[in-house]
Amino acid sequence: MTTTPRLALVPGEPAGIGPELCVRLAQQPQPVPLVAFCDGEVLRDAAARLSLPLTLRDEHDPGPERAGALRLRAIPRAVPSTPGRLDVRNAPYVHATLTQAADAALRGEFAGLVTGPVHKGVLNDAGIAYTGTTELLAQRAGCDVVMMLASRTLRVALATTHLPLRAVPDAITRAGLERSLRILHAALRRDFGLAAPRIAVLGLNPHAGEGGHLGREEIDTIGPVLDALRAEGFSLAGPLPADTAFLPSHLAQADAVFAMYHDQGLPVLKHAGFEQAVNITLGLPYVRVAVDHGTALELAGTGRADASSLLLAARFAAEMVGRD
Q: Annotated binding residues, as ranges? A: 134, 162, 207, 262, 270, 279, 288
- Side-chain half-sphere exposure of 41, counting CA atoms within 13 A: 9
Q: Would you report the helix, strand and coil content of the chain in percent, each value rounded to 5?
A: 40, 20, 40
Q: Are strands 146-150 and 155-158 parallel, antiparallel or unpaired?
A: antiparallel
Q: How far apart are CA 122 and CA 94, in angstroms?
A: 10
HEC readout, 256-269: EEEECCHHHHHHHH
Q: Cα 38–39–40 angle (5° rounding)?
A: 105
Phi, psi for residue 299 in degrees, rounded to 5: -100, -15
Beta carbons within 10 angstroms of residue 191's beta carbon: 20
Report CA Rg, the chain: 20
Name the E strands within the chain: 7-10, 34-38, 55-58, 69-74, 112-115, 146-150, 155-158, 198-202, 235-240, 256-259, 278-282, 287-291
80 half-sphere exposure, CB direction, 13 A CA radius: 5
Q: Which residues are annotated as a binding site for a divalent metal cation?
A: 162, 207, 262
Binding residues for substrate: 134, 270, 279, 288
Residue 209 one-letter amino acid = G
The rounded Cα 39 to chain-centroid distance in angstroms is 22
C-alpha distances in angstroms, 143 versus 31, 114, 135, 136, 168?
29, 19, 10, 11, 21
Which residues face 9 on adjacent strands? 36, 114
